[in-house]
Chain A
């Protein structure tokens, strides 16, 4: 026997101490280390650069207040206000495009992945997360159903403006929403956003049938 009894006991105590003392890292430290580790663990590929790991104020705060850690109301209000200031409404004042084109935007799921051709337009992929029409049964449940959106909310200019603003920057109305900021992040063009807003708002749109 190479290790005697005293050494075993000492080893045992050391192991117990190690187990007992090893507490979780402070979440702030874990986040700082995670960000640094991620920067070193990814590489640029096509349009997806490593700078995508960097966070803006909203992303940083939403990462902190997640996993059961609830964001204080005043911080949420401050973030929403900051995001509202970033919304650019169309210069021509027209918020509604063509709902048929909007349906195509809502269906399309590609865009901004390193596997996507940046020359092709991105989609809105609304159906990934929302029910929208009766006809499309393949819809996700991350977001609420938008079926009969304007029929229930009204077709007026204030709701049109809300719908456009929501698609442009979802965070402006509910901080830390899971919905991408389609206008703010440059995912959709102004025309594409007008078209999906028409899909939500037009009385002829299957959304409101």
Chain B
């Protein structure tokens, strides 16, 4: 078997050194009745590379890829073009096949890119510090809520109706089990929500999102002031991180913690994972942060180097008193993010953001010309909500039959809720050509 270097000769020689006559003898601590005598039944035996490739390629071929059709699905994961050099560089074995940088002398490569990643995240979000990544935006948001509660020792959480429903559910699940009082607001598709009145002296934090699930853009400056006046922290979530190339960063609005889904930069759609959670906060809260942190220091010769630091927050040292249980994070996805953002640079990122917005504006203008179609949003970045004269899910399936993946029906997130059936989330990024947009317009005209 190609991944197993030991030969039968090796095995016999090694058993002799150990002083047993079979490998079975090494499993003597296993209770007799639990020792399987041979390979587990009902499963296939080993296969060559060719056979495995065939098997998996057949499965892959059953899926419709985003690049092969006019594609407008967003809803928390976005189709962007990732430069070839990103993937080629992270495929270097020294990155791909190394572990968490526990031995800094032989992992300066990983440590330095983490330091760069932390800096990039801090710059993008307008915050002081960022950690070395979380699993994804949704888990990062739950961690942010727990962190806020640690800071002000309060128990109530207000979740905006503009928050991505998966994020809401992850917060409800993970913080709910801790006994937190979670007040999720109704879906705010009209962008009418005002959370100020809900904040009281018991509120640990409020969680808001911009662009919101429905694509609305919000300035939270006044909200942050109101929250801070009550000792409440504000967590700002960004699920489309490219928007930060154009819009005011949450840090400038006064956010205390910013959590982003970083997938859009450097990472493919991958059917939902692995992605990378970005997590940033203010200096004064750094000791309450979850996750790994890389810091700068010097080596024995006085040369600059990097190490994992402030580890006493983490599970391997603090155990049940740790700020989080996270261990493995999204290291390689963070590297993809870092390389892609380095390629973009200041000019590239701002331009990419403008191209995204321009494509969305163009599409919105075109869609508005279709009879019965309304754009709900006043403002948006690269995704907006469309109100259709029919059930969005039905329209979407009909368009899918025509080879157009038009967006996400809001009812996929809120199936039981009335009044949302005719809403469709539509995203347009730099990958959408004018022909794609026209195909969507034509398709809609046909099915409506």
Q: Do A and B bind each other?
A: no
- Residues of chain A touching chain B, judged by Cβ–Cβ distance below 8 Å, are none
